[in-house]
């Protein structure tokens, strides 16, 4: 693969700032000196070899002050981990506003250079998302739980809809008060798979499979919740000790997707959970510090 490269003649500089426009297959990096002069820009592959090549290339211009990386929690996560492991300060850079991008244009070189300038100007100064510790583990487990909860809710609605149109005699067998109870009863159905061309047996088969799906998703949710609870209790005992804050609301606040109504102790909770990082977890519970 031939990668696009445009560079000026390198010369010794005191400090440089890296800006990176991230994508799934290629990252485009730009280097600015301490005066804001663009020294060069180049594309790199999104693998370990590409990350190290980017770091070596940037270091050839001078001492790296910081790197501004877009999407440090998604496309830029791998590069961010590599830069942090190498001792480089990484700053989270937000993508430009649509109005700004429509005025200045949109291409990888412009975005990479803009990322570096945002770091130099102080427009972006938030540390990059840390995807190497317990917070990232909680994010992933909560993502898994959310997906299972949504799938289970959809399956329960489908079970209800199938029962509404099921033959009258079949509906009478489902006397449970709740949809969860009806799902348990559906798992006990014994359809004749050789007669699925008949609506009655097709309905039985559908109900049984929906009941099994609901059962399996419920088991997955319960197992994942146990893991989340264990993690949150270990890494943030002070947080979940706050009034009306349990493992799930605490976990949701960790990965920035909490959609619950504010609790009465609004200020205290927000102060305790805002911008949580693994370093703050260690300060809260020193015994959880990494080896």
List, for the chain, all residue ranges whose pLDDT scores fall below the cut of 50: 2, 13, 257-282, 288, 290-291
Contacts 24+ apart (CB under 8 A), 166-174: 166/203, 166/207, 167/199, 167/200, 167/203, 170/200, 170/203, 170/204
pLDDT at residue number 185: 92
**Residue 174: inside a domain:** yes
Side-chain half-sphere exposure of 47, counting CA atoms within 13 A:
2
Cβ count within 10 A of residue 183 = 26
Residue 185 domain boundaries = 134-288
Pair (25, 117) in one structural domain: yes
pLDDT at residue number 291: 47
pLDDT in tens, 65-116: 999 999 888 899 999 999 999 999 999 998 765 555 555 556 888 999 999 9
**Residue 127: inside a domain:** no
Tokens of 124: 């972006």
Pair (172, 220) in one structural domain: yes
Cβ count within 10 A of residue 62 = 19
Q: List helix spans (H) across the chain.
A: 48-59, 77-85, 98-104, 108-121, 134-165, 168-171, 179-187, 199-235, 237-240, 247-254, 266-273, 278-284
pLDDT at residue number 112: 93
Pair (282, 160) in one structural domain: yes
Q: Last residue of some domain: 121, 146, 169? A: 121
Domain count, the chain: 2
């Amino acid at each position: 693969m031939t990668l696009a490269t445009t560079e000026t003649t390198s010369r010794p500089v005191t400090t440089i700032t890296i800006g990176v426009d991230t994508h799934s297959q290629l990252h485009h990096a730009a280097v600015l000196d301490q005066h804001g002069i663009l020294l060069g820009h180049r594309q790199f592959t999104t693998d370990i070899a590409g990350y190290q090549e980017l770091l070596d290339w940037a270091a050839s211009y001078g001492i790296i002050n910081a790197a501004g990386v877009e999407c440090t929690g998604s496309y830029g996560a791998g590069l961010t981990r590599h830069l942090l492991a190498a001792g480089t300060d990484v700053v989270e850079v937000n993508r430009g506003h649509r109005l700004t991008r429509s005025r200045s244009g949109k291409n990888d070189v412009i975005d990479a250079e803009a990322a570096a300038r945002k770091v130099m100007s102080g427009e972006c100064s938030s540390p990059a998302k840390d995807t190497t510790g317990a917070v990232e583990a909680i994010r992933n487990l909560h993502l898994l739980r959310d997906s299972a909860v949504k799938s289970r809710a959809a399956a329960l609605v489908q079970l209800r809809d199938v029962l509404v149109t099921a033959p009258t005699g079949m509906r009478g067998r489902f006397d449970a008060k709740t949809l969860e109870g009806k799902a348990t009863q559906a798992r006990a159905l014994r359809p004749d798979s050789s007669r699925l061309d008949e609506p009655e047996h097709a309905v039985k088969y559908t109900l049984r499979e929906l009941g099994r799906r609901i059962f399996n998703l419920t088991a997955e949710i319960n197992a994942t919740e146990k893991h989340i609870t264990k993690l949150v209790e270990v890494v943030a005992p002070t947080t979940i000790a706050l009034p009306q804050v349990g493992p799930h609301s605490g976990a949701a606040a960790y990965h920035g997707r909490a959609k619950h109504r504010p609790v009465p102790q609004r200020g205290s909770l927000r102060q305790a959970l805002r911008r949580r990082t693994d370093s703050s977890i260690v300060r809260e519970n020193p015994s959880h510090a990494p080896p």
